[in-house]
Amino acid sequence: MTYENKIKEIDELKKKTDKRRPFDKHTLKQLKEYYRIGLTYSSNALEGNSLTETETKIVLEDGITIGGKPIKDHYEAIGHSEAYDLLYRLATNKEIVEKDIMELHRLFYYRIDEANAGHYRKVKVIITGTEFVPPAPARIPRLMKEFVSKIPGMRKKLHPVEFAAILHKELVAIHPFVDGNGRTARLLMNLALLQCGYVIAIIPPILRNDNINAIKKTQTAPQTDAPFINLISAMVYESMRDYLRLLNAL
């Protein structure tokens, strides 16, 4: 599926949203919890987690395990929820530093693999379904430092939605962790959006193939970021529409 760039439409929706600010504490809490479930479910489901959105809500809000579902799936939901809380704390900052990215991964992953949580991989990895080969482990520390050093310049140069999409794309390309790179990239993307005054963007699991194909296009030669930026802009647009709907209901 081909996606149109929705940045102009997003900016119009943001103007409408900004007119409603500042939000009261009750509204902010309701919105935060709404997106906690949606982002945790969708981001995990994109990577094969078997919990439904309702089951994710039960695990996070009631602390109940779902019979017949792998314990790893529960750990992913709980860990992502903890990383989500950090996401909101970091959103008050005006910068993104390397330790923030590592901590987002650590919180998501430590119940699953404590030794590798928040640490760069020491082994080579193969990504199925693509010819793209992630960088060798020895290159990762330098690549991550170079990536993070470029963030302030990218923030100034790019539209916030483009900025968020490129952060996602760049982190996935470096593939710094043994596992959880996609989820960490989506958390990083949403951190950038929140810091710039936008809303949480959710990629529905039904669009998994579109998401994978758009990322693959950023890794081909000649490299093109437009399909992925357009996809993310479409997701932000839908989130902005949903956000306004929620504000009208609260």
| Catalytic one of 80, 105, 168, 175 | 175
The pLDDT of residue 10 is 98
Are the C-beta atoms of residues 125 and 134 closer than 8 Å to each other? yes
Active site residue 175: yes
CA atoms within 13 A on the CB side of 68: 4
Q: In order of start, what are the domains of the chain with their CATH numbers?
A: 7-118+135-249 (1.10.3290.10)
Residues of the chain with pLDDT under 70: none
Q: Using N-to-C axis directions, what is the helix angle for 25-45 and 226-249, rounded to 10°?
A: 140
Tens-place pLDDT, residues 21-36: 999 999 999 999 999 9
- Return d(Cα 56, Cα 64) in angstroms, integer: 10
What is the number of other CB atoms lying within 10 angstroms of the CB of residue 204?
15
**Hunting for tokens 């910068």 — which residue is that?**
95
Is the preceding omega at residue 222 within 30 degrees of 0, hence cis? Answer: yes
Report pLDDT for 198. 96
Q: Under a CB-based contact definition with an 8 Å cutoff, are residues 137 and 121 in contact? A: yes
pTM for this predicted structure: 0.97
- Alpha carbon 103 to chain centroid, angstroms: 14
Per-residue model confidence (pLDDT) at position 164: 98
SS (H, E, C) 89-150: HHCCCCCCCHHHHHHHHHHHHCCCCCCCCCCCCCCCCCCCCCCCCCCCHHHHHHHHHHHHHH
210 residue type, one letter: D
pLDDT at res. 31: 95
**Contact (CB, 8 A) for 193 and 148:** no
